[in-house]
Amino acid sequence: MVMSGAPKRRAVLIAGPTASGKSALALARARESGGIVVNTDAMQVYDVLRVVTARPSAAEEAQAEHRLYGFVSPSERFSTGAWAGAVEKLIQETDRERPLIFVGGTGLYFEALTNGFAEVPTVPAEVVAEAEKEIQGLDAENRARLIAERDPEMARRLRAPDPQRVVRALAVLKATGRSLASFQDAAQSGLLEGFEVERVVLNPDRDVLRERIARRFETMFDGGAVDEVGALMAMDLDPALPAMKAIGVPEIAAVLAGRMSEDEAIERAIIATRQYAKRQRTWMRNRMGDWTWIAP
């Protein structure tokens, strides 16, 4: 039991678009403070794909304790709720004198840390698959129209009707008969309630980020990404699983199948990564405007 006069436990939150240098900053802060680096990225939870998802290397992990990286099989659908549960367990079992340094680019994970997490019942995989099939082939305008017809309240809350969020809203509605909005309105307090929290967003120059993204993926191709995707393909998984949609996986899979050249795969993956970084920045501007923004 913590005495009321005891210092608050510390946490550092480091967000930013992909390839902005978050992991390097987190590692530096962990070395300085003896803190624990905690993964806050939805793709880096999966094993097999260390290079493709830009997880810290084994050498980097040896320099400071890293948690919640590569601990989930790609055959699983790992939800935000499951991640929040893993964080609650981590908080309970680690030394409160050591800062927790949360680093990543998944906005919903940071929401769970700071503002609370909506406790949504687990949605069966077959229901998610039905929702995915329903939006297959729809562009943004038609996805927006579909969710507006089925769940007007969630349609108002979705700033952009990207496939993942529309599928989530439709699947929850199908499985529970309730709007996801009703669960969000009943959200609990943030996981870091009672912590002293430092919040940082890395905001590199746009041209610098574009170059870093291009260089990163070209390096990935020569650094083991092809072997990782080959191992993933050998598992014969459902292509609708999140790990199968990680940027770089479909492109490299096409190269391995002889449907695409290596140069074309690199170009497409770079474009997809830049588009993802743009969406991340938009989300962070809308939801993290009061954080400390710094140029790495």
Annotated binding site for substrate: 18-23
Question: How far apart are alpha carbons 5 and 137 in whole angstroms?
Answer: 57
End-to-end Cα separation, the chain, in angstroms: 39
Question: Binding site residues, as ranges?
Answer: 16-23
Q: Where are the alpha helices (DSSP H) in 1-151?
A: 22-33, 58-61, 80-93, 107-114, 125-135, 140-150
Q: At what angle do helices 107-114 and 80-93 cross, to 10 degrees?
A: 50
Question: How far apart are alpha carbons 66 and 276 in whole angstroms?
Answer: 25
Beta-bridge partner residues of 201: 15, 293
CA angle 172, 154, 151 (to 5 degrees): 70
Question: Binding site residues for ATP, as ranges?
Answer: 16-23
Tokens 């906005």 found at: 107
Element of type H or E holding 163: helix 163-176
Element of type H or E holding 157: helix 152-157
